[in-house]
Amino acid sequence: MYFKNRLQGILEEIDDLVDTFIAKGQENPYLMPGYTHLQKAQTITFKYYLDAYAQMLLRDKKRLLNAINIMDENPLGSGALAGTTHNIDRQLTTELLNFKKPVKNFIDGVSDRDYVIETLSDFSIIGVHLSRLSEELIIYASQEFQYVTFDDSLSTGSSMMPQKKNADSAELIRGNSALLIGELNQILVIMKGLPLAYDKDMQLDKETFLPAFDHIEKMLLIAKKIVSTLKINRVKLQKAVKNGFLNATDLADYLVKKGRPFRDAHTVVGQAVLFAEKHQKALEDLTIEELKQFDQIIDEDVYHYLNIQESIHKGIKKEML
């Protein structure tokens, strides 16, 4: 009952954070670099970037709803492990306590804590998602990127260096995710060698899930405040998209549409990128003559693919808008 009640609050906080992601994305639908290996890869939108985390949290919500559904069994009447000689109405107590059904097996009803394990596992997954978001926002807020700026209320200065603005709120989310993983490991280790039915070790489960609930609630609330107050630097994002040959894959797609095998297109684009780097140009700034030296099939229509503002409207890419 305690779990069911507290998890309802967690579900509401997840919904609030998802809504915050969506709202912030709609306010800032700007183009930005997408990364693999922390290197610029292809163009995405800030809206689509935030939506990735929204989708993760929506799956997290499904996991918690599934956990609630599984644990929604009434153990009342199980006794120590063998029920009771009293002819109690288990269906009535189930309805009064707002459970879905009575437990089928008395021993199982008192001897397992898999509902704790499953909930803390779900919390750990949420924590990992929020930790990844926090790490990225810390990077994006750094002087090296400057894509975003944290609100002053969620940042601190340095005790020694007056110029510093540290994203402490995101760092604490990142740190608390480790505590959630630790609490999951604790309950797993507590339960791993216990014989049926009840053992006193089980009372230590409170030391795992009580702090875990507090940690996940704080993390979700802080994440919501971070995202809702985050300032997006559109100019920096535009500049970042211009550099790094983010349209190289679009050029390869163009060649494939012209009939080239992708392996050949990949080689041609690699040569074009090396040429552009050598001459300190972007791919879209190369002349048609310069591009044709790599493949004569290239024509003027290539610029519709090299222009990032245009190419993002092609194919299923437009789903990112």
Cα 115 to chain centroid, rounded: 24
Strands 39-45 and 31-36, by their bridges, are antiparallel
Q: Fill in the amino acid letter for 31.
A: L
Please say whether the beta carbons of 54 and 22 come within 8 A: yes
Catalytic-labelled residue, pool 142, 158, 279, 304: 158
Other CB atoms within 10 Å distance of the CB of residue 68 = 18
Residue 9 is given by DSSP the state H
Residue 195 is given by DSSP the state P
Return the closest-CA partner of residue 15 out of 75, 83, 62, 61.
61
Question: Is 37 part of the annotated catalytic residue set?
Answer: yes
Residue at token pair 């009640």: 5
Q: How far is CA 65 from CA 13, 154, 212, 219, 312, in A?
A: 14, 31, 17, 19, 36
Catalytic-labelled residue, pool 37, 86, 153, 159: 37
Return the closest-CA partner of residue 1 out of 66, 63, 62, 68.
68
Query: Rounded distance, CA 308 to CA 70, Å?
Result: 48
Active-site annotation, residues: 37, 158
